[in-house]
Structure 1
């Protein structure tokens, strides 16, 4: 991944927030029988806690929790090999026409986290807890959040078709390429373009760029 230090993200709270906001991830592993195996799945911060998010307690090492179809878990030989989980945040194309001065060429701004480690497969009851937590995570914005216990009997009947896991991070690499190498004035121009009501609009990316500029 991009090695320029200016784009490194090392603040564990920012990394956790990215996973919370962009929980649809890509799981990549390599097995002797199949070679590369790739799946897509929701993931959570396993040890999530408001105190950690607020920075009032020490931030523990990142651990993800997730689930995927049992057949997919078998294809990955989950638990037998190291994997990487890729969590992608806001991203978008940057046109040279948006700058106030030049020269510039097209580029792509993005935020991404790679979480490396060896998954730990979970027992059925803990897998069910991950399923319930996942539902709660995505339902939390609704006025009347749906909970898994509303369909408890059915959910428990089909849950054996799913494999839950925890992934303690052995290594985390995070990048936020958000035009930090440009002047504050240029960042504002780019963010204005991305926040406009046009087909190329990426308002979340625009907000991320402005936030990165404030942290400089």
Structure 2
């Protein structure tokens, strides 16, 4: 991802927020057969306060990616969407695409069976707990044999990134009133209604105003 200093994200708290809110990741590695990409859930390591992530892949994706031996690129895609030039007002303009993304690179550590079970349990709990009647991993009708068989079909990993590239392109190069117009356009019902992107832009706009007031 080409970096632009105006759009760079460096605040670890903000990066952790994006990773936590958008756990469906793209995992990319370079193999002898060419590039390979897979899609899996990743979570922040709850024992760390940095950008270490944990997750799992299904077998044989671990072999395809050379998990534990080769560098992985994990792509986290935050809110994104189309921005109409009409939202800029009566000035020359072209459309663009606003987005937030985090790239985490490094060689992952392979988890043992107990650690992998803990990660699998966390993944299920993260998404199932919101259900009216949650079916957590260790609850009936699942039994220990079923869960342990499930674990044997996966390979868990922990990735502490050695390289981080993060970008938040949210019209920061536009005047605040234009950014407000774009937020309003995204918030309105219509073909490009995008409340998640509007909220992310609102957050960035507030941070920009706060930074200006303390400068």
Same fold per superposition (TM over 0.5):
yes
* Post-superposition CA distance 1:54-99 (Å, at most 9, x none): xxxxxx4321101111111110010111111000000001111121
Cα RMSD of the aligned pairs, angstroms, is 1.5
SS at match of 2:60: helix
Show the counterpart of 1:24: 24
Show the counterpart of 1:7: 7
- Say which is worse superposed, 151-160 or 78-87, in terms of deviation: 151-160
Show the counterpart of 2:36: 37
Whether the 8 Å CA contact 1:61–1:169 is kept in 2: the answer is: no
Show the counterpart of 1:138: 127
1:13–1:152 CA distance, 2 compared to 1 (3 A): farther
Whether the 8 Å CA contact 2:16–2:50 is kept in 1: the answer is: no
Aligned partners of 1:185 and 1:139: how far apart in 2?
41
Show the counterpart of 2:45: 46
Matches within 5 A, 1:1-216: 1-32=1-32, 34-47=33-46, 60-150=49-139, 151-153=142-144, 154-216=146-208
Gaps of 5+ in 1: 50-59
* Post-superposition CA distance 1:165-202 (Å, at most 9, x none): 00011111110000001111111111111111213111
Aligned partners of 2:45 and 2:168: how far apart in 1?
23
Residue 136 of structure 1 and its aligned partner are, at CA, apart by 1.5
Whether the 8 Å CA contact 2:98–2:171 is kept in 1: the answer is: yes
For normalisation by structure 2, the TM-score amounts to 0.90
Whether the 8 Å CA contact 2:54–2:157 is kept in 1: the answer is: yes
Gaps of 5+ in 2: 209-215
- Say which is worse superposed, 39-48 or 83-92, in terms of deviation: 39-48
Aligned partners of 1:147 and 1:183: how far apart in 2?
48
Aligned partners of 2:160 and 2:150: how far apart in 1?
27
Aligned partners of 1:205 and 1:2: how far apart in 2?
21
